[in-house]
């Protein structure tokens, strides 16, 4: 690593992802010290000089096998603050999965708007930029943050993977709820470009209140067609299964689901083990350690996002445009 290279750090829980990103950057992951104290407090610091360097801290902020969401967020903030105090010239937080992104508005009296509070915490420790992948509500995320943000999408990665499986079929892209319609439209456009033909669209009605989900009416024609359900994340799996069942009841021949983040909380393995879903594809922004894939009847594929993250770091380091990543993917598909 030379002084002109970007410096990439990753806490222990995301060391594997950090190393894979650095492999694509042809450099080593920068060293950290992480110490636990007897009273539960924690220390994290860089073991290499960062003065006047362009620094990137990579970490997904979901509950893990050994650390909860709040612990990860707090430790990442401490590391970012330590890097600022150590004289880094520019600090970018690369957060493939951003915690609390779903709590972006008040739905009940006196509700917290936690998305905004998290953005304030990142701003308070002095970061220069925040990078995420397929955040739940892009407008809310961008409006909450007063530091520059970059939003990466996995739709080309997911669409390219799905093409061989669905190329010969009449397709409909469906959002499992009305809030995800724009996301499904962008995915449909990518798939149309790859397949060079028009694809149908639709969405499933869903209402959520106090943790209870209701609704299930399907808008769109799916009879005799293969459905692709598109969402940003899979949590318990109930939304996907509800939507898949609605599509099957309306005459769909097969239902494939794609989502960027696979949280798989609670009884997700049991919920997803149904005959209305043919396949599920997610990325490794969140390691699928909770999902019992061996016990599922459907096919589950986990795609790697390290190349996308590495290319975004490379572009940011040289002052390039992240938006052009989409155009680059488009050109790759055109040549394929």
**Residue found by looking up tokens 């470009």 in the block:** 193
The CB density around residue 319, as the number of other CB atoms within 10 Å, is: 6
Alpha helices in 176-320 (DSSP H): 181-195, 238-249, 268-271, 306-317
β-bridge partners, 255: 227
Query: What is the tens place of the pLDDT at every residue in 294-328?
Result: 767 888 999 999 999 999 999 999 988 777 565 45
- Tokens for 242? 């509800």
Strand 218-219 relative to strand 149-152: parallel, antiparallel, unpaired?
unpaired
Predicted pLDDT at 107: 85
Predicted pLDDT at 321: 79
pTM of the model: 0.91
Contacts 24+ apart (CB under 8 A), 244-250: 244/274, 244/276, 244/277, 245/216, 245/274, 245/276, 246/204, 246/216, 246/217, 246/218, 247/174, 247/204, 247/218, 247/222, 247/276, 248/276, 249/218, 250/218, 250/222, 250/223
Predicted pLDDT at 206: 65
Q: Which of 43, 72, 103, 206 is flagged as catalytic?
A: 206
Q: State how far Cα 6 lies from the chain centre.
A: 23
Which residues 6+ apart lie within 8 Å of 323 measured at CB?
none
Query: What is the tens place of the pLDDT at every residue in 74-109?
Result: 999 999 999 999 999 999 999 999 999 999 888 889
The enclosing H or E element of 17 equals helix 15-25
Segment 241-251 shows an average pLDDT of 94
Beta strands in 40-89 (DSSP E): 42-46, 54-58
b/e for 38-66, b at 16 or more Cβ within 10 A?
eeeeeebebeeebeebbbbbbbbbbbbee
Mean pLDDT, the chain, rounded, equals 91
Query: What is the tens place of the pLDDT at every residue in 123-151?
Result: 999 999 999 999 999 899 999 999 999 99
- Tokens for 35? 């110490």
Q: Is 206 among the catalytic positions?
A: yes
Cα→Cα distances 84→72, 93, 153, Å: 18, 12, 28
The enclosing H or E element of 279 equals strand 279-283
Segment 37-66 shows an average pLDDT of 94
Segment 148-156 shows an average pLDDT of 94
Predicted pLDDT at 153: 94
The enclosing H or E element of 159 equals helix 155-166
**For residue 256, which of 265, 247, 264 has the smallest C-alpha distance?**
247
Q: What whole-number percentage of the chain has pLDDT above 90?
A: 81
């Amino acid at each position: 690593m030379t002084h002109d290279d970007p410096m990439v750090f990753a806490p222990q829980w995301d060391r594997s992802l950090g190393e894979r990103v650095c492999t694509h950057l042809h450099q080593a992951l920068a060293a950290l010290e992480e110490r636990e104290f007897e009273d539960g407090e924690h220390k994290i610091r860089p073991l290499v000089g960062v003065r006047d360097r362009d620094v990137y801290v990579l970490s997904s902020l979901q509950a893990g096998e050994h650390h909860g969401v709040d612990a990860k967020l707090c430790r990442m903030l401490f590391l970012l603050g330590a890097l600022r105090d150590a004289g880094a010239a520019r600090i970018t937080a690369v957060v493939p999965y951003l915690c609390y992104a779903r709590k972006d508005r008040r739905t009940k009296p006196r509700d917290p708007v936690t998305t905004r509070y998290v953005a304030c915490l990142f701003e308070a420790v002095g970061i220069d930029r925040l990078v995420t992948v397929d955040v739940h509500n892009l407008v809310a995320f961008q409006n909450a943050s007063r530091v520059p943000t970059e939003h990466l999408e996995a739709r080309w990665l997911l669409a390219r993977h799905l093409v061989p499986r669905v190329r010969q079929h009449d397709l409909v892209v469906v959002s499992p709820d009305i809030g995800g319609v724009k996301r499904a439209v962008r995915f449909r456009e990518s798939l149309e470009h790859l397949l060079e033909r028009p694809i149908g669209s639709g969405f499933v009605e869903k209402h959520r209140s106090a943790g209870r989900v209701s609704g299930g009416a399907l808008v769109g024609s799916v009879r005799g067609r293969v459905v692709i359900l598109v969402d940003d994340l899979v949590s318990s799996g109930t939304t996907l299964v509800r939507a898949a069942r609605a599509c099957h009841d309306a005459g769909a021949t097969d239902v494939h689901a794609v989502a960027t983040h696979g949280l798989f909380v609670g009884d997700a393995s049991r919920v997803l083990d149904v005959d209305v879903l043919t396949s599920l594809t997610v990325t490794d922004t969140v390691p699928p350690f909770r999902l019992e894939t061996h016990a599922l009847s459907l096919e589950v594929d986990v795609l790697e996002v390290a190349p996308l993250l590495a290319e975004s770091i490379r572009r940011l380091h040289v002052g390039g445009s992240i938006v052009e990543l989409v155009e680059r993917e488009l050109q790759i598909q055109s040549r394929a």
